[in-house]
Amino acid sequence: MPNLRFTEKALSEWMQGTASDSDIVISSRVRIARNLQHLPFPLLATRQQSEEVLNRLANVPEDQEIMSLGTFYTIKLDEIEPIDKKVLVEKHLISPSLANESQNGAVMISEDESVSIMINEEDHLRIQCLYPGFQVREAWEKATSIDDLFEAEVDYAFDDKRGYLTSCPTNVGTGLRASVMMHLPALVMTQQINRILSAVSQVGLTVRGIYGEGSEAIGNLFQISNQITLGQTENEIIDNLHSVVLQIIEHEKNARTQLINDSRLRITDRIKRSYGILSYAEIMDSKEAGQRLSDVRLGIDLGIVQGPSVPMMNELNVMTQAGFLQKKYGHDMNSEERDIYRAKLIRETLAKA
């Protein structure tokens, strides 16, 4: 039976750590895309070929060097329920593509959930490392060390001119996607966010929602990542992202200071209203929950709200998603039922604070 310990709790162990600028940068992530030589990309592979990929890659973590990084658990996606797949997506341990479209898809997850290695997603292999706060360089160092261990065991599809070959042309070259998840409520409230995000797009970066491409930026959470993978080295990509994120952090800090100096009473009222509504509401849809949890998180960072903690906000951001709600309460729900149980879960969690 598959190990489902990862879908039983909302808060991954790695999320409980602290790091620099964690009041603004929620997490840092690095993902490396690789494919095996002489085998079709997953979208074109037969079931037999994708099974061969799975067998070859799933055995690599038995190597002693990789085992030294900790214990890994392998989950085959066709052996678990759809609700468990949804929870893994909500925890960012697998991609929506792996959950919904993969053939012989699997994921290897480290014990603290900071590393997830996806097999037969859009590419044969996707190595993902997650760190709390602003630690994109640390995430890169961990990801590249794991990549080196896999490369010692299997032959990657590589071209001397183009670099690593990937299913999507936008990943060709380094195959590297580095990103940070940022909480930017003050830039949104002061109506500076569009100007900032427009500037970001001019320097080879892109902005997405919390679940990547095509998703919405709910709760003032924005994912900033590199758009270019070809023509730059891995270190250049990481350095560019690092430099731009430092500037965004500074803009958000200035915007928070502006809010306090110009509208202290108004922002305090907004934050406390959100805290009150979360504490007593009987119905709460996901969009409103995201916005009000964002307000309370800002209140914690500004010292306006006492009691709830930042880890509690991180946990609620996952617990209030559709998949986790249904997993926790043990049955399928329609939209209205989810709104009722979401409000109940938030009330009970905040009461513990």
28 is in an annotated binding site: yes
181 is in an annotated binding site: yes
Q: What are phi and psi of 298, to 5 degrees?
A: -60, -40
User: In the prediction, which pLDDT does 322 show?
Assistant: 95
User: In the prediction, which pLDDT does 215 show?
Assistant: 47
**Residue 134 to residue 20: CA distance in whole angstroms:** 6
For the chain, residues with pLDDT lower than 50 are 1, 214-215
The angle formed by the CA atoms of residues 334, 84 and 86, to the nearest 5 degrees, is: 60
pTM of the complete model = 0.90
22-72 per-position pLDDT tens digit? 899 999 999 999 999 999 999 999 999 999 999 999 887 665 556 566 788
180 is in an annotated binding site: yes
User: In the prediction, which pLDDT does 1 show?
Assistant: 44
31 is in an annotated binding site: yes
245 is in an annotated binding site: no
- Cβ neighbours, 10 Å, residue 120: 26
Give the HSE-up count for residue 299: Cα atoms under 13 Å, Cβ half-sphere: 25
Q: Which amino acid is at 47?
A: R
209 is in an annotated binding site: yes
338 is in an annotated binding site: no
34 is in an annotated binding site: no
User: In the prediction, which pLDDT does 216 show?
Assistant: 59
30 is in an annotated binding site: yes
